[in-house]
Amino acid sequence: MQALSSMADHDHCLFAPADLAAAVPDCSQLAVLLSRATKAGLLKRICRGIYLYPVPHYPAGNLLFHAAARLRAGEFNYISLETVFSDAGIISQVPMNWITLMSSGRSHIVNCGDYGHIEFVHTEQHPEDLVGKLTYDADRHLWRASIKQALRDMKATRRSMDLVDQEVADELA
């Protein structure tokens, strides 16, 4: 726990088992250590392979975004679809504890228990194709699609547009 408290800060408090293995290289039973730390309340399991070391003033609203960034760190990911529309007020219902991201990895929904769900939707697009259509969201540690790009993504993935207020979307795009 000393290693965790020295590594953790306001922006970096999510850890994968590999991070913890590097912090305690002499530990041969990392799974047992993680289980005990979780039961003792020193760590909180967010989802498979991601643990939260609680730090004061952590922005809990960004937890799923930070977990998504850690889960797919080796892939190209960006916030899009219903999450962009919800943030912009374009959809009539706000998805609670559910975030949607486009990813160069496979499509998959990650169950994060009480924290919610992370939905990765596969895209064939490359970063160089999206220059000027994405902005970096430093608070969430991820790229974010413009409203116009999120509309393209919705159509390309054949997602329901029933909740989208098209007038507002056209106005903001």
Q: What confidence score (pLDDT) does residue 94 get?
A: 67
Domains of the chain: 2-58 (1.10.10), 75-172 (no CATH)
- For the stretch 142-156, pLDDT in tens is 999 999 999 999 999
Those residues with Cβ within 8 angstroms of residue 7's Cβ, 6 or more apart along the chain or in another chain: 15, 19, 23
pTM higher than the cut 0.85: yes
pLDDT tens per residue across span 95-143: 789 999 999 999 999 999 999 999 999 999 999 999 999 999 999 999 9
pLDDT surpassing 90 at residue 46: yes
- Type of residue found at 65: F
| Helices 147-156 and 81-88: angle between axes, nearest 10 degrees | 140
Return the structure tokens found at 13: 């408090």
Q: What is the pLDDT of residue 8?
A: 75
pLDDT at 88: 87
Rounded to an integer, the average pLDDT of 58-74 is 90
